[in-house]
Chains A and B, each alone.
Chain A
Amino acid sequence: MTAIAAARRTARRTTMISGLSLALGVCLWQLMASGISDLILPPPTDVLARLMDPAFFARLSRALGQSLVPLALGFAISLGVAVPLGIAIGRSKSLSRMFEPVITAIYAIPPIAFVPFLVVWFGLFFPARVALVVLMTVFDVLQVIIAGARDVRPGLLDVGRSFGASPVARTRLIVLPALSPFLFAGLRVGFARAVNGTITAELFFAAVNLGAIMKRATENFDTAGVLLVVLLVCLLGLLGQAIITLLETRLLHWHVRS
Chain B
Amino acid sequence: MIANPAGPNRDAPKLEVQGISKAYGRDGNALTVLDNISLVVPELEFLALLGPSGCGKSTLLRIIDGIDTPDAGRVVLDGKDVTGTTGNGRGMVFQSFELFAWRTVLSNVAFGLEVAGMGKAKRLQTARQYIDMVGLSAFQNAFPHQLSGGMQQRVGIARALAINPSILLMDEPYGALDVQTRDLLQDELLNIWEKQRKTVIFVTHSIEEALYLADRIVVISPRPGRIQQDIVVPFARPRSAEIKSDPVFLELRREIWQMLKRGVKV
* A interface with B by C-beta (< 8 Å): 153, 155-156, 158-165, 169, 173-174, 177-178, 180, 252-256
B interface size (C-beta, 8 A): 26
CB distance from A156 to the nearest CB of B (A): 6
**12 extra A-B contacts, CB within 8 A, seeds A160-B115, A169-B115:** A158-B98, A159-B92, A159-B94, A159-B111, A162-B65, A163-B111, A164-B87, A164-B116, A178-B100, A254-B101, A255-B102, A256-B145
CB distance from A45 to the nearest CB of B (A): 50
- CB pair A165–B96 under 8 Å, yes or no, is no
Known A-B contacts A173-B115, A254-B145, A256-B145; A163 and B98 likewise in contact (beta carbons under 8 Å): no
**Contact pick for A164, options B88, B143, B144, CB 8 Å:** B88
Grouping DSSP codes into helix (H, G, I), strand (E, B) and loop, the B interface class, with mixed when no group exceeds half, is loop
Q: How far is the CA of A180 from the CA of B111 in the complex (A)?
A: 19
- CB pair A173–B65 under 8 Å, yes or no, is no
- CB pair B101–A165 under 8 Å, yes or no, is no
Among A174, A177, A254, chain B packs the most CB atoms within 10 A around the CB of A254
- CB pair B102–A162 under 8 Å, yes or no, is no
Among A158, A159, A178, A252, chain B packs the most CB atoms within 10 A around the CB of A159
- CB pair A252–B90 under 8 Å, yes or no, is no
- CB pair A178–B86 under 8 Å, yes or no, is no
Of all chain A residues, which has the CB nearest B144? A254
Grouping DSSP codes into helix (H, G, I), strand (E, B) and loop, the A interface class, with mixed when no group exceeds half, is helix
Q: How far is the CA of A160 from the CA of B114 in the complex (A)?
A: 11
- CB pair B90–A254 under 8 Å, yes or no, is no
- CB pair B100–A174 under 8 Å, yes or no, is yes
CB distance from B257 to the nearest CB of A (A): 30
Q: List 22 A-B contacts (CB under 8 A).
A: A155-B98, A158-B67, A158-B92, A158-B98, A159-B92, A159-B111, A160-B115, A161-B67, A162-B65, A162-B90, A162-B92, A163-B91, A163-B112, A163-B115, A164-B88, A165-B115, A180-B102, A252-B102, A254-B145, A255-B102, A256-B101, A256-B145
CB distance from B152 to the nearest CB of A (A): 13
CB distance from A80 to the nearest CB of B (A): 23
- CB pair B98–A156 under 8 Å, yes or no, is yes
Known A-B contacts A255-B101, A256-B145; A163 and B86 likewise in contact (beta carbons under 8 Å): yes
**Contact pick for B86, options A164, A174, A256, CB 8 Å:** A164
CB distance from B108 to the nearest CB of A (A): 10
- CB pair B94–A254 under 8 Å, yes or no, is no
- CB pair B143–A161 under 8 Å, yes or no, is no
CB distance from A106 to the nearest CB of B (A): 33
Q: How far is the CA of A165 from the CA of B143 in the complex (A)?
A: 22
Q: How far is the CA of A38 from the CA of B144 in the complex (A)?
A: 60
Within 65-109 of B, Cβ neighbours of A (below 8 Å) are at 65-67, 86-88, 90-92, 94, 96, 98, 100-103
Interface string of B112-126 (1 = CB under 8 A from A): 101110000000000
**Contact pick for A162, options B67, B101, B144, CB 8 Å:** B67
- CB pair A153–B98 under 8 Å, yes or no, is yes
Known A-B contacts A164-B88, A164-B116; A159 and B102 likewise in contact (beta carbons under 8 Å): no
- CB pair B94–A158 under 8 Å, yes or no, is yes
Of all chain A residues, which has the CB nearest B116? A164
Chain B positions within 8 Å of A174 at CB level: 100
- 4 tightest A-B contacts by CB? A164-B87, A155-B98, A163-B112, A177-B102
- CB pair B67–A164 under 8 Å, yes or no, is no
Q: How far is the CA of A124 from the CA of B30 in the complex (A)?
A: 61
Chain B positions within 8 Å of A253 at CB level: 143
CB distance from A161 to the nearest CB of B (A): 5
